Every structure is written in C-alpha cells, then in structure tokens.
Amino acid sequence: MNLRNLRGRVGKLFLSGTIATMPFSMTSCDEATTQAVVDILTTLLDSMGLLLNEEDVEDIPTDDVDNDDSGLPSSKDWTKYAPAVGNQGSYGTCVAWATGYGLKTTLNNIDKNYTSYRSNASYQTSPIDLWHLMRSNYSSATSTKCGGSSFDPAFKVMIDKGVATMSTKPFTGQKMTCDGATPTGNSSNKLGAYRLVAYTSELSGSGSYGMSVANLKSKLNEGPLVVGAKLGESFMRWNSSATITSDDPDSYNGGHAYHAMMIVGYDDSRKAFRIQNSWGTTEWGDNGYIWVGYNHFVNNFAFGVWSASNKVDAYSSSAAATRGITGIDLKLEVIADEALANGNRKLTYDIVNNGTGDVNLADCNVVYTLYKKKHFHEKSILADVNVNVILPAGAKASSVLGKKLTIEYQLPSQFCNGISTDADCYMFLALDPKNESGDDNLENNFAFITSSDAKPLKVFNNEITNDVKILTADLGSKIRNDYTGAELIGYLAKELK
C-alpha cells in the first residue's frame, strides 16, 4: 500500500523508524543471511515508526530554493562536528535521534567550533529527553510505546523548551521508558528556527518542492540537514563504504519502510550525499554511515528534507548581509488596503526618506505579493512598480509628487505555480528588495497585510472574506517560526535580480 492511499484511509500515518541491535554480524553476503536480516527488521519496523501527517508540510515554512551550485565546493563534510553514531535500539525514535541527537548536537558544535567531544555525553543532545518532551507537549503527534513521532513537534519542542544533554538523560543499555516519564528540558539548549528545504509529492500529497541536487548541496554548505527517507531492501542490508545508487522503494514492505536520518555532507567525486544513521556502527552500513547517490536520493530515496539553526533570525541573515553602511534609510508606510466597487482592491502607501541625503527612487521598486501561509513559493506578485522621483531628506514621496501613492490590483484565482489562491494567505509589501538605493535598514522596508492579531487573510473566489489589518512589525514576532520581513525581502531580491 502506498503512502497516499494509507493516509486517505487512516488520516495519519505511522511509518517505521527503528532498528534493533542485531545478534549477528552482517559481513556475510550470502542470500540466506541477508534475507534473515531483512526478515528481522521487517518484524521490528512493522510495529513501530515515525508518525507523519500533513502538518509536516502545511505547518512548516518552506525555505527558498537555490538551484545554482556553480560556485559551491566539490565536497562538504560536517562529520567532525557530529556526535558519534548512536544506536536507537528497538524503539521508533528515529526522529528524536536525527533531529536532537544528530542535528542539534552538530549545530551546537559548529557554533562553538567543537571537534573533540563526539563521544562526550555532556556535549550530546539527548534523544530520550526530546522524545518525552514531544510526548508531554504533543501527545496527538506522537504514538504510544515509543512507536513514532513527527518532525514538526520535534523542532517546536527544541525551540520552546530546549533539550537535556545525554549525560543528564542517558540511553543506557538500549532501554527506555516510553510513557509516563518526566522530561527534563534545558532552556540553555534551545533551537532557534527551522525550515522545510525540500519535499516530494509523497509527503505533500500534491506536488514536489526543492528536491534537487543543487538546492540540497547549497543548503549543506550552510549546515547539516535532516532527511525523511523511504527505504528499500538494499538499504536495509547495506554493509559497505560504496555508494548506493539504486533501490526499489517498494521492495521493503511497502508503506512501513520510512526513517529519519541526518545528512552530514556531499562529494561530487562520488556524486553522493553522506548520511549518518542511528543503527550503531557494527551491523550496518559504513561504520554507521552511508553514501546515497545524487539521482537515487532525489528521485527515490528522500521524501522530505529539513534544515535548522540555533539562531532565531538565521533565515534573514542573507538579506541583511547585502546591506552596507551608507546612511540611506527609506521607510515604507502603508495607509490602507480596501475593496473597490469594481471588484478590484486598492493599496495606499507612502515612502519616507529617513536619511540625511536625497535619494533617487527611479530604480527603487515596490513589490506587492500575495502568498500562502508558510509557503512563500506559492505566491502571486500583485504589483511591481517604481516611484520616479528625487526624494529629499525628511520628505514623503506623496508630498513631493502632490498625490497619494496607490496600487490598484485584482486578486488572482491562482498563484504563479497554478495552485488555487483559495487559502489562508498573507499580503506582503516590500520597498526596494533589490536594494538599488543602498538602504542600510531593512526593518522599515516592509509591511504585512493581515487579518486581526496577525491571522491570515481568508481568500476565496478572488475575494478576502475577513477583515484586513496593516502589520508593519515582523510576522515572525507574532507567529512562531513564520517568515520575517527580512527573510521575504531576501527571497524577493533573489527572484527579481
């Protein structure tokens, strides 16, 4: 049974993410031995797993896609910062091992440039504490008896609560209490933000996004990633340093063979991504790692890839970095966005020169965008206009021109990628996203047009059906882990250049 059919029948999907310590070596390649391994794993993995639902796509902001890998290094490897390969034992806790023990620990070590503590429990994030934090805070998104969890609550708990170290909450003897245990948490070990980097139609139920070699390589140059993968029999019995380049994703028990792991790098000479697993170092893979070929990874193996950072504003930094010290500061003011009798809408806004010198606005475009909540790639540019005027210091563009600045537009029936705009949306107005003016200050160059209390606009049949409110503050300050204005300006700048 495939994933989409199973989701339709039960609403939520329990997928496997566990492996037991195997009582024998996998060095033998005879058919009987390898089939015995698969049979054992099938029994274990059928009963426990990773809980996956549509919130793993709908409730996580997608990161911008970067398909230009021309300037990237030929290889990248974060292994020296990663914790030693762990063994999750016979529990469906792969998400906690991949996101907490693997990714969070590695991010901590990268930030502090620690390379000597791979086996030190005091520098490892506890997957056991993370699992119980998820159970305590998101019981509906986790299964009982350590039988699975979802990516989204794992990241959210790390942002809200922080996670204890492995020395505080150890995994000894490969045993753990699944329900009723009290988590510790650790406010000094919190995550800052996370994004959905790429996904396939199997995860989303509709289309795919960002699942390209170039995009994943680009993200890996920023840090390690977490992957949700569909496993085949070849992967299950892998015991080699060679690259796995093909596998039948339906060969291993259909819809149950799903697993979470950490991607630590890539190598163009191998044309492969390097993945750290949580199945120990002796019975599987290349001492607990595996090379997965580029084409196999994006076409058959991965169904979702996530990134994260310890920095709250991590996904805004690229836009901020393009700004220099020039003394130029333009400010965007939004007065109103209202429906007209002819069925269109009209935005009224102004531009203020907060700097000390005159600014030519001829190349300083104003971009108005309608986008789906959490998914900026599902958007439509409503307007891209220029205000052709020399704006003196301290002046408003409307005063210099002798008239109000307005944009009349019509809500589209579809976003630019053909998806219906009947959805929860925001409108975003950006001043000079390409930074032609040399503006230093991003914080007053945008405005979100929302409903009350920063709630999304309800768009249906080319109309907004709820109230409209102008929000000039960052949406990220109102809605946890949503896009910030600086982040969206960075996305637009890349698209418009």
Q: What is the pLDDT of residue 50?
A: 63
CA separation, residue 246 to residues 61, 101, 197 (Å): 31, 28, 23
Long-range contacts of 290-294 (CB under 8 A, 24+ apart): 290/235, 290/238, 290/244, 291/241, 291/242, 291/243, 291/244, 291/267, 292/243, 292/244, 293/243, 293/244, 293/245, 293/246, 294/213, 294/266
195-216 pLDDT per residue, tens: 999 999 888 888 899 999 999 9
**Across 2-11, 134-143, 253-262, least confident range:** 2-11
78-89 pLDDT per residue, tens: 999 999 999 998
Q: What is the pLDDT of residue 54?
A: 61
pLDDT tier for residue 25 given thresholds of 50, 70 and 90? very low
pLDDT tier for residue 369 given thresholds of 50, 70 and 90? very high
For residues 236 and 7, the model is more confident at 236
As a CATH number, domain 3-312 is 3.90.70.10
Q: Give me the mean pLDDT over the 32-52 stretch.
A: 46
- For residue 47, pLDDT beyond 80: no
pTM of the model: 0.87
Q: Give me the mean pLDDT over the 22-36 stretch.
A: 37
Distance CA 148, CA 374 (A): 25
- For residue 44, pLDDT beyond 90: no
Q: Give me the mean pLDDT over the 6-34 stretch.
A: 33
61-72 pLDDT per residue, tens: 999 999 999 999
Q: What is the pLDDT of residue 253?
A: 62
pLDDT tier for residue 478 given thresholds of 50, 70 and 90? confident
**Is residue 95 helix, strand or coil?**
helix
- For residue 320, pLDDT beyond 50: yes
Q: Give me the mean pLDDT over the 363-379 stretch.
A: 95
Q: What is the pLDDT of residue 112?
A: 97
Which residue type occupies 39?
D
pLDDT tier for residue 42 given thresholds of 50, 70 and 90? very low
- For residue 397, pLDDT beyond 80: yes
Q: Are strands 289-293 and 243-244 parallel, antiparallel or unpaired?
A: parallel
Q: Which residues contact 298 (CB under 8 A, 6 or more apart)?
A: 211, 212, 213, 216
Residues of the chain with CATH 3.90.70.10: 3-312
Q: What is the pLDDT of residue 52?
A: 60
Q: Give me the mean pLDDT over the 158-180 stretch.
A: 91
Q: Are strands 457-460 and 463-464 parallel, antiparallel or unpaired?
A: antiparallel
Contact 50, 92 (CB under 8 A): yes
399-440 pLDDT per residue, tens: 999 999 999 999 999 999 899 999 999 999 999 999 999 999
Q: What are phi and psi of 371, to 5 degrees?
A: -140, 155
- For residue 322, pLDDT beyond 60: yes
Q: Which residues contact 461 (CB under 8 A, 6 or more apart)?
A: 422
Q: What is the pLDDT of residue 463?
A: 95
448-461 pLDDT per residue, tens: 999 998 999 999 99
pLDDT tier for residue 40 given thresholds of 50, 70 and 90? very low
Residue of 350, 374, 369 lying closest to 433 (CA atoms): 369
- For residue 255, pLDDT beyond 60: no
Residues of the chain with CATH 2.60.40.10: 323-496
Tokens of 100: 């907490």
Q: What is the pLDDT of residue 138?
A: 85
Q: What is the pLDDT of residue 363?
A: 84
Q: Which fold has domain 323-496?
A: Immunoglobulin-like (2.60.40)
Q: Give me the mean pLDDT over the 267-276 stretch.
A: 98
- For residue 168, pLDDT beyond 60: yes
Q: What is the pLDDT of residue 174?
A: 80
For residues 53 and 16, the model is more confident at 53
